[in-house]
Structure 1
Amino acid sequence: MGAGTGGVSTGTAARWVERWERQQQRYAVDREERFAVIADLVEHVAGGRPSPLVLDLGSGPGCLAARLAARLPGAEVLAVDADPLLLELGSAHYGRTLRYVNTLIGEPGWVGRLGLDRPVDAVVSTTALHYLGERTLRQVYGELAGLLRPGGILVNGDHISPDSARMSELARDVGRRHAERNADCGHEEDWESWWSGAAGDPELAPLLGQGGEGRAPCEGNDLTVSGHVALLRDAGFADVGVVWQVGPSHVLAAVR
């Protein structure tokens, strides 16, 4: 078996990336459809352009980033995450399909560590930006607006509450029922069991000692849809709106 730069074999990486995909389905309603919608949006904006540049923020091992690279074969796709284990698993599994960047979104100097040489066509993120506090998210939205070319797109797929408490309650119930109908909630693995299992794998344990074990500092925010829209418009995005929703899972798009 081959190995990535950190010594993880391709077989081990494939097994743990597959387990990552399964446990993530517990936390994203209709995850595959959401990924497809995000890829549709990126292709709409970047398809046909020479060498489009795409960023996946909070990428984990790069599951969405790899799908985007397959959809846009000529693109340069960066998988950006703060956890060295997840990045090494992705590197060993997906190889040179992606470029991996280890940086914490929003910390001082994080944009410089991306190593960009041209404007970005699309930025995507899934189930990650809710970890940022409102002040940090405002900063990050502004920085991303500065990276994107005119007409470029920012796509955020995440748990985002509707604007009223009653609608939020209804959305959660719709999401739960949708998951039950589609067997999305029948996965035994969860976040904690994945990380505890990884800690017990001798190939992965050394990488767990290098960083945050998937647990980047979590300020968190309780922004509703309109709260995100307001921050994005303040950052300079002209057109902002929800393009897909199932229960509390939203895909929010903003065009530069």
Structure 2
Amino acid sequence: MSGASNTTAGGAAPSTSELAQPSLVTRSRDLLTAWDAQQAAYITGREARFTMMLDILEHVLPPDGVVLDLACGPGSITARVLDRFPDVTCIAADYDPVLLELGRNALAHHGDRVRFVDVDLWDAEWTSALGDARPDAVLSSTALHWLPADVLARVYGDLAATVAPGGVVLNADHLRHLDGRPLFEELSRLDDERTQQRDRAAGAKDWDGWWADVTSVAEYAALAVERDRRFAHRPPNPELSLTFHVEALRMAGFAEAGPVWQHFDDYIVLARR
């Protein structure tokens, strides 16, 4: 009705935060969708490798299992796990305060089935943030390549001590060909270029364009300062081979480890505790 006041049933006007929150959630969901599009432009078959990871979970995950999404970003894996497995819960762990808050808002509709935690994998005590949880599966996508060899090997050891008996680790990542095979390297590079050209033409943004959209939201722009502080002195990502990952997992105490999916230099590595 024209002229009606904007009040709740009890007569009190909604607070500014109450009015703004639905739009922030909607905006966050849109940004997560855009994140998936810009990431897919860098990774040929990104959705296919997610599907493979979830297919493996279907065989090994208890119906009410716990999944750790390690270095989760805004929660792409978590979203897919929660949608496919209605009784599973997720712990989504990352060190980027912007992406963590974006994920919390975008996936808020899942309620207590998901918990976002702030962890720094460079910190040897990072698993304390998980509390008493013993994940049945740990999934990671396009993230662990940022860790240097010593930190990555220690993280795999941390996972071996944390995952439930019989649990699995699934790491999907670019693992460059480092063994002197120039044709393999060239084919991988050309495939990356084709995917980026195709997806950009279809409207996917690059990282800079997506990040500009994120930081146009006041709540995320405020967190970007802390993000810059956290990552200011981190070294560039090292180039570690598939062989390194597999051997590091075995040395960490996993009973078996190896690749289960490949597209040029993009792999899923599976390890079982």
**Normalised TM-score (structure 1):** 0.87
Tell me if 1:224 matches 2:241.
yes
Q: Specify the SS of the correspondent of 1:61.
A: coil
Contact 1:13 1:92 in 2 (8 A): yes
Which residue does 2:79 correspond to in 1?
66
Map Cα deviations across residues 78-135 of structure 1 (whole Å, 9 max, x no partner).
11111122122111121124210111123132110122x2422100100000000000
Of the candidates 19, 26, 38, which is equivalent to residue 53 of structure 2? 38
User: How do residues 121-132 of structure 1 correspond to structure 2 at under 5 angstroms?
Assistant: 121-132=136-147
For 2:191 and 2:66, how far apart are their aligned partners in 1? Answer: 33
For 2:229 and 2:102, how far apart are their aligned partners in 1? Answer: 13
Which residue does 2:226 correspond to in 1?
210
Letter in 1 for 2:144: L
Tell me if 1:153 matches 2:158.
no
User: Which moved further from structure 2: 230-239 or 217-226?
Assistant: 217-226
Q: Specify the SS of the correspondent of 2:165.
A: strand
Tell me if 1:90 matches 2:103.
yes
Tell me if 1:245 matches 2:258.
no
> Kindly tell me: are residues 119 and 227 of structure 1, through their superposed partners in 2, closer, same or farther at Cα, counting changes over 3 Å?
same
For 1:103 and 1:158, how far apart are their aligned partners in 2? Answer: 20
Q: For residue 204 of structure 1, report the CA deviation from its aligned partner.
A: 2.5
Contact 1:30 1:184 in 2 (8 A): no
Q: How many residues of Structure 1 are paired with residues of Structure 2 in the alignment?
A: 251
For 1:218 and 1:3, how far apart are their aligned partners in 2? Answer: 39
Q: For residue 220 of structure 1, report the CA deviation from its aligned partner.
A: 2.3
Q: For residue 155 of structure 1, report the CA deviation from its aligned partner.
A: 0.5
Alignment identity in percent?
A: 34
Contact 1:132 1:220 in 2 (8 A): yes
Tell me if 1:80 matches 2:97.
no
Which structure has more relative contact order (CA 8 Å, sep 6+)? It is 1
Contact 2:66 2:137 in 1 (8 A): yes
Letter in 1 for 2:241: T
Q: Specify the SS of the correspondent of 1:176.
A: helix
Tell me if 1:235 matches 2:248.
no
Q: Which runs of 5+ in 1 are unaligned?
A: none
> Kindly tell me: are residues 43 and 89 of structure 1, through their superposed partners in 2, closer, same or farther at Cα, counting changes over 3 Å?
same
Map Cα deviations across residues 55-85 of structure 1 (whole Å, 9 max, x no partner).
0111111111110112221112111111122
Q: For residue 159 of structure 1, report the CA deviation from its aligned partner.
A: 0.1
Q: What value does the CA root-mean-square deviation take over the aligned residues?
A: 2.7
Considering fraction of residues, name the structure with more helix. 2
Contact 1:78 1:100 in 2 (8 A): yes
Tell me if 1:29 matches 2:29.
no
Q: For residue 195 of structure 1, report the CA deviation from its aligned partner.
A: 1.6
Q: Specify the SS of the correspondent of 1:28.
A: coil
Contact 1:123 1:155 in 2 (8 A): yes
Contact 1:122 1:152 in 2 (8 A): yes
For 1:214 and 1:10, how far apart are their aligned partners in 2? Answer: 25
For 2:258 and 2:49, how far apart are their aligned partners in 1? Answer: 15
Of the candidates 194, 200, 222, which is equivalent to residue 216 of structure 2? 200
Q: For residue 145 of structure 1, report the CA deviation from its aligned partner.
A: 0.5
